[in-house]
Amino acid sequence: MGKASYKGHRIIGLLYALGLLGMLSIIAAIGVSRQGQPQSGEEKAYEDISASWTLDREGNQPVDVRRLGEFMDDETGVLSIYYQLPELESDVDLVYRSKDVYTRVLADGEMIYETSVYDSRFYNRSPGNLWNILTISHEDSSKCLELQIIMVYDTSAVTVDSLLIGDKADIILGLFADNMFGIVVSALLILVGFVLIVVDLLPTYGRAGKNHSLLWVGIFAFLTGIWSLIETNVLQFCVRDMRILQLINNMLMVVDSMPLLMYLDSEYQIFKHKSMRILGYYNAGYILLCVAVQFSGIGDLHHMLKGASFTMMLTDLVLFIWVVRMLIQLKKEKKLILSCVLQILGIFSLWFLGIFESFRSLHMDRMDRAGLVRVGMLLLCLFFALSSQIEAYKIIEQGLKYDLIRKLAYSDGLTGLGNRTAYLEQLAEYEHNEEVFIQLGIVYLDVNNLKAVNDRQGHEFGDELIKIAASIIADSFGHYGKAYRVGGDEFCVLMTGVDVKENYQKGKEIFRQLIDEANQAQWYSFKVQVAHGFSVCDEFTRERIDEAIADADGRMYENKTELKRENCD
C-alpha cells in the first residue's frame, strides 16, 4: 500500500498547519494593536543580593527566593520580602527576573517601581518571564526596600530570582556571558533546522524521490531552537515587547511535538494505522483547541501546557517504540539497521539529558528550563538528520543505477543516440498527445554506401561511417528534435512544435554544411553521403503517424536515388 493510499496523512498535516496559522494569528493580532513600552534606564557596577532578602523588615527571617511559593499567602495572593539598602554614593540599578507574577518595589513604603507591560486580550494573564530594571536614587540610601510579589496562577508558578544591584550594562553583559553556552547551542539548533528545511526543499534533492523526513526534522530543530533561545532569558533584553516572548514560548511548547509525528509518518507511514491516526488527530486538534482558548479569553496557553507536555511525552514514547520495532524487523530481515540505531541514539540522548535536567529542577524553578535539554534536542536532530540522509543516499544510489540501466536500455551502443526501442516508445507517447496546435515533424535518413565500405574496407570503417553520420545528424536535425538510430544504416529525427517545417529547413542547412565539410576535409577513406526525407503529421493518431512515417521514408528513397544519380554523373 503506497503512502498516498491511506487516509489521515493529509488531514492531520492540514490540521497542524491550521494550528500553526492560528498561533501566528494571535501574534499578528498583538502586533496590530501593539503600543510602545518604556525604555530601561542607566548603566552602572553590580552584585548579587538574592540571598540578602528577608520575610520581615528587621531582617531576622532569611528567605530562599527560589522557593517563594512556599511562603505565599494563598488567600491574598501577595508576598512581601525586604532588603536593607546600604549607603549609596550614587544612583544604582536593581535588576531581577520575575516569572508569571506582577511585582512592585517600595522604598520605606513609597512605590518606586511597578511591573508595567502592554496589555492585550490575546496575551496570557501573566506578564510572562521578564527582567525588571529600575533605578534606585542615592537619596534612598539606607532605606528598606520592599518587593511585593502578586500571584497570577498558583504558588508553583511564583518565581522571582537573580536579584542584582549595581550597573545595568555590566549586569546584562554578565548574564549574556553566563548563558553563552545555551545561546550558542540554541543558535546551532536554529541553523541546523534552517539548513535541513532548505536542503529538503531543493529541487535537485527532491529528484531523489525521497520522503520529507528531513523537512520535519528541520522544522522540529528550528522551532526547538527558538524555544531554547527564549529559555536562556537573554532575548528579553533585546525586544521591547517582552511579554510576547512568553506567548511564543508557550506556543512552541504546544506545537513542537507534531513534527516528530510527521517525521515518523514520513519514515514509517505510521498514519496507515488507525491508532496512530487518532494520535495525530488528537495532537493537531489540541493545537487548534489552544488557539480557540487563547482567542476566546476563556483561559490562556499557560493552562494548556500540561496537556502539551503530556502530548510531547506520548509522542516521544511512540517514537521510541516505533523505531525499536523497525530495528527488530530489519534485524530479522538482515537489512541495514544503521539508520534505526542513529534514531535510537538521538532519542536516548534527549531522554537522558532531559531526565537529568528534570532532577536538577525538581524542587525549584530554574532560570533556564532548557538547560541540558537543548543539547539533547540538538543531538536528536543531528542523529535523525543523519538517518534521513542515509535513507536518501540509498534512494539516490538506487536511482543512479536505474538511470544507468535505463540509459543502456534506450541508447544505441555505437552512436549514443536513442535506439529503436526508445523510438517506438516515443511514437506511442505521441499517440496520446492532446495539444492540437503541436505538429510532429519526421526526418528519415539513410547512410549511403555502408555495404560497400564494409565489403571493401572492413566493418571497422563501416562503424566509423555510421558514427560520423550520427554525429552530423545529431548536430543538425538533432538540435530541433530527438535523434534515433532505428536500423543498421537508418536514422530518424522526431520534431515537435508549432511550425516544424521552419526547424527542418534550419536543420537541413546545417546538415548540408557538415556533410560538405566532412567530405572536403578528406579525413576519411570514404565519402559521407546521407539521404533524407521529411514529412509533417498534424493529427496524433497511430494511423496518421504511420502515414507520415511512410511519406518521409518515401521522400528519403527519392533523395537516395538523386544522390546516386549525382555520383554517376
pLDDT mean across residues, the chain: 79
Tell me the domain boundaries of the chain. Answer: 3-30+180-398, 47-166, 420-568
Instruction: Tell which wins on pLDDT, 381 or 252.
Output: 252
The reported pLDDT for the residue numbered 528 is 87
Task: List phi, psi (to 5°) of 366.
Answer: -90, 150
The reported pLDDT for the residue numbered 81 is 92
Q: Is 249 helix (H, G, I), strand (E, B) or coil?
A: helix
* For residue 311, pLDDT beyond 50: yes
The percentage of residues in the chain with a pLDDT greater than 90, rounded to a whole number, is: 16
- Measured CA distances, 205 to 192, 208, 212, 291, 389 (Å): 17, 6, 11, 35, 11
H-run or E-run covering 187? helix 180-201
H-run or E-run covering 389? helix 373-410
Q: Is the pTM of this model over 0.75?
A: no
* For residue 550, pLDDT beyond 90: yes
Q: Is 431 helix (H, G, I), strand (E, B) or coil?
A: coil
Q: Return the closest-CA partner of residue 60 out of 81, 74, 77, 78.
A: 81
* For residue 133, pLDDT beyond 80: yes
Q: Return the closest-CA partner of residue 316 out of 353, 369, 368.
A: 353
Mean pLDDT value across residues 174-185 = 82
The reported pLDDT for the residue numbered 495 is 92
Cell output for 175: 548574564
Q: Which long-range contacts (C-beta less than 8 Å, at least 24 apart) are formed by 3-8?
A: 3/211, 3/269, 6/269, 6/271, 6/272, 7/277, 8/271, 8/277, 8/280, 8/281
* For residue 10, pLDDT beyond 70: no
In 233-372, where does DSSP find H-type helix?
243-255, 258-268, 274-296, 301-332, 338-360
Half-sphere exposure of 271 (CA within 13 A, CB side): 26
* For residue 288, pLDDT beyond 60: yes
Choose the CATH number for 47-166 among 2.60.120, 2.30.30, 3.40.50, 1.10.287. Answer: 2.60.120
Q: What pLDDT, in 10s, does the model give residues 441-455?
A: 999 999 988 888 888
* For residue 473, pLDDT beyond 90: yes
The reported pLDDT for the residue numbered 146 is 93
Half-sphere exposure of 15 (CA within 13 A, CB side): 21
Residue 490 banded pLDDT, cuts 50, 70, 90: very high
Half-sphere exposure of 219 (CA within 13 A, CB side): 19
- Between 16-30, 154-168, 305-319, 333-347, the lowest mean confidence (pLDDT) is in 16-30
H-run or E-run covering 228? helix 213-231
The reported pLDDT for the residue numbered 43 is 43
The reported pLDDT for the residue numbered 510 is 92
Task: List phi, psi (to 5°) of 95.
Answer: -125, 130
Any idea what the Cα angle at residue 428 is, between residues 423 and 434, rounded to 5°?
125
Q: What pLDDT, in 10s, does the model give residues 491-540?
A: 999 998 878 899 999 999 999 999 888 888 766 677 888 999 999 988 88
- Measured CA distances, 161 to 25, 53, 127, 164, 228 (Å): 33, 11, 15, 9, 20
Residue 148 banded pLDDT, cuts 50, 70, 90: very high
Mean pLDDT value across residues 181-197 = 84
* For residue 12, pLDDT beyond 80: no
The reported pLDDT for the residue numbered 30 is 55
Q: What pLDDT, in 10s, does the model give residues 71-120?
A: 888 788 899 999 999 888 889 999 998 888 889 999 998 999 998 766 66
158 Cα distance to chain centroid: 37
* For residue 435, pLDDT beyond 70: no
* For residue 34, pLDDT beyond 50: no
Q: Is 340 helix (H, G, I), strand (E, B) or coil?
A: helix
The reported pLDDT for the residue numbered 535 is 94
CATH class of 420-568: alpha beta
Q: What pLDDT, in 10s, does the model give residues 337-358?
A: 666 777 777 777 776 766 666 6
Q: Return the closest-CA partner of residue 215 out of 170, 181, 154, 260.
A: 260
552 Cα distance to chain centroid: 53
Residue 472 banded pLDDT, cuts 50, 70, 90: very high
The reported pLDDT for the residue numbered 39 is 40
The reported pLDDT for the residue numbered 555 is 93
Query: Could you tell me which residues come within 8 angstroms of residue 167 by beta carbon, excluding any fewer than 6 positions away?
Result: 43, 44, 45, 46, 92, 93
The reported pLDDT for the residue numbered 17 is 63
Adjacency order of strands within the sheet including 129-136 = 47-48, 159-166, 92-99, 129-136
The reported pLDDT for the residue numbered 446 is 93
The reported pLDDT for the residue numbered 553 is 92
Q: Return the closest-CA partner of residue 110 out of 150, 151, 79, 144.
A: 144
Question: What's the CA gap between 66 and 484, in Å, rounded?
Answer: 81
Neighbours of 552 (CB within 10 A): 22
Q: Return the closest-CA partner of residue 417 out of 375, 474, 462, 339.
A: 474
Residue 434 banded pLDDT, cuts 50, 70, 90: low
Mean pLDDT value across residues 400-426 = 74
The reported pLDDT for the residue numbered 533 is 94
Question: What's the CA gap between 411 and 507, in Å, rounded?
Answer: 22
* For residue 401, pLDDT beyond 70: no
Question: What's the CA gap between 72 and 289, in Å, rounded?
Answer: 32
- Between 188-197, 295-304, 383-392, 475-484, the lowest mean confidence (pLDDT) is in 383-392
Please state which architecture CATH assigns to domain 3-30+180-398: Up-down Bundle (1.20)
The reported pLDDT for the residue numbered 38 is 39
Q: What pLDDT, in 10s, does the model give residues 46-62?
A: 788 988 999 999 888 99
The percentage of residues in the chain with a pLDDT greater than 70, rounded to a whole number, is: 77
Question: Is residue 234 within 8 Å of residue 183, measured between CB atoms?
Answer: yes
- Out of 202-211, 296-305, 411-420, 504-513, the most confident range is 504-513
The reported pLDDT for the residue numbered 36 is 41
Instruction: Tell which wins on pLDDT, 351 or 473.
Output: 473
Question: Is residue 103 within 8 Å of residue 147, measured between CB atoms?
Answer: yes
The reported pLDDT for the residue numbered 531 is 92
